[in-house]
A and B are shown apart, each in its own frame.
Chain A
Amino acid sequence: TQLLEQSPQFLSIQEGENLTVYCNSSSVFSSLQWYRQEPGEGPVLLVTVVTGGEVKKLKRLTFQFGDARKDSSLHITAAQPGDTGLYLCAGAGETSGSRLTFGEGTQLTVNP
């Protein structure tokens, strides 16, 4: 069974601060995705990374896939209250087909 561990589980910061969320596993993933979920809604895909060492930027969000494709990070620069939400990483194993394994999430609160 592939597991994804996210850290930290909870993060409360002030507007304008920077933060990094981590997603780690002992397993290799063929691709890794980050989703954001707001209260009362389903997760929404932010990004997919597929190549070891890949870095993708989405405005103030920077996503990185580890060289060995076992870990990923999400860095937010100058966080805003609108960034508040549950951030979930999800990995597709090399033999898992269309199934994803989800981490337990990082609950981010950005205070104005």
Chain B
Amino acid sequence: NAGVTQTPKFRILKIGQSMTLQCAQDMNHNYMYWYRQDPGMGLKLIYYSVGAGITDKGEVPNGYNVSRSTTEDFPLRLELAAPSQTSVYFCASSYRRILAGPSSYNEQFFGPGTRLTVL
């Protein structure tokens, strides 16, 4: 299994340009996520999906859009790039691990990231 793959690894955009960050997973996970990570910071959730055709906003969705037409792919779209979107973007997928009793949790698997600079 390749796990979670992301393309491109690096990209420089001019203000106002658009682009799509690609994310794919081959683990048949239902859940997928997009995060951004700014220098010295943790991860902020942009959008997530609990299955094909279902997406929802995270903490910082403004300026981004997503779609989930298949289980495997979860692209992130930037329509009008702004310098504030300079960041490292991580895609992740997860499955739900069911424990004895009512407990369950998700283990997230991350891609290698896309480093985006907007000038």
Q: How many residues of B contact A (CB 8 A)?
A: 30
Asked if B107 and A33 make an inter-chain contact with CB atoms under 8 angstroms apart, the answer reads yes
Nearest CB to that of A89 among chain B residues?
Answer: B42
A112 close to chain B: CB less than 8 A: no
- Would you call B103 and A98 a contact (CB within 8 A)? no
The answer to whether B2 has its CB under 8 Å from any CB of chain A is no
Q: Quick one: closest A residue to B30, CB to CB?
A: A98
**In the complex, which residues of chain B have a beta carbon less than 8 angstroms from the beta carbon of A50?**
99, 103, 105
- Among B41, B45, B59, B92, point to the contact of A42 (Cβ < 8 A): B92
Per the bound structure, the CA–CA distance linking A42 and B44 in Å amounts to 14
CB distance from B68 to the nearest CB of A (A): 14
CB < 8 Å A-B pair total? 69
Which of chain B's residues have a CB closer than 8 A to the CB of A31? Answer: 103, 105
Q: Is the interface of B mostly helix, strand, loop or mixed?
A: strand
User: Please, which residues of chain A bring their CB within 8 A of the CB of B94?
Assistant: 98
B58 touches A104 (CB 8 A): no
Interface of A is mostly: loop
> Do A99 and B45 contact each other (CB < 8 Å), given the known contacts A31-B105, A45-B107?
yes
Give which listed residue, A41, A45, A51, A104, contacts B108 with CB less than 8 A: A45
A41–B105 CB distance below 8 A: no
Assuming A42-B110, A104-B40, A105-B42, what are 11 further A-B pairs, CB within 8 angstroms?
Answer: A31-B105, A42-B4, A43-B108, A50-B103, A90-B108, A92-B106, A98-B31, A98-B50, A98-B94, A103-B42, A105-B41
Please, could you name 21 A-B residue pairs with CB atoms under 8 Å apart, sorted by A?
A: A1-B59, A4-B42, A6-B42, A31-B103, A42-B4, A43-B90, A45-B108, A48-B97, A50-B99, A50-B105, A51-B103, A88-B42, A90-B43, A90-B108, A92-B106, A98-B48, A98-B96, A102-B35, A104-B41, A105-B40, A107-B40
Interface residues of A (CB under 8 A from B): 1, 4, 6, 9, 30-31, 33, 40-45, 48, 50-51, 88, 90, 92, 97-100, 102-105, 107
Interface residues of B (CB under 8 A from A): 4, 31, 33, 35, 40-45, 48, 50, 58-59, 90, 92, 94, 96-97, 99, 103, 105-113
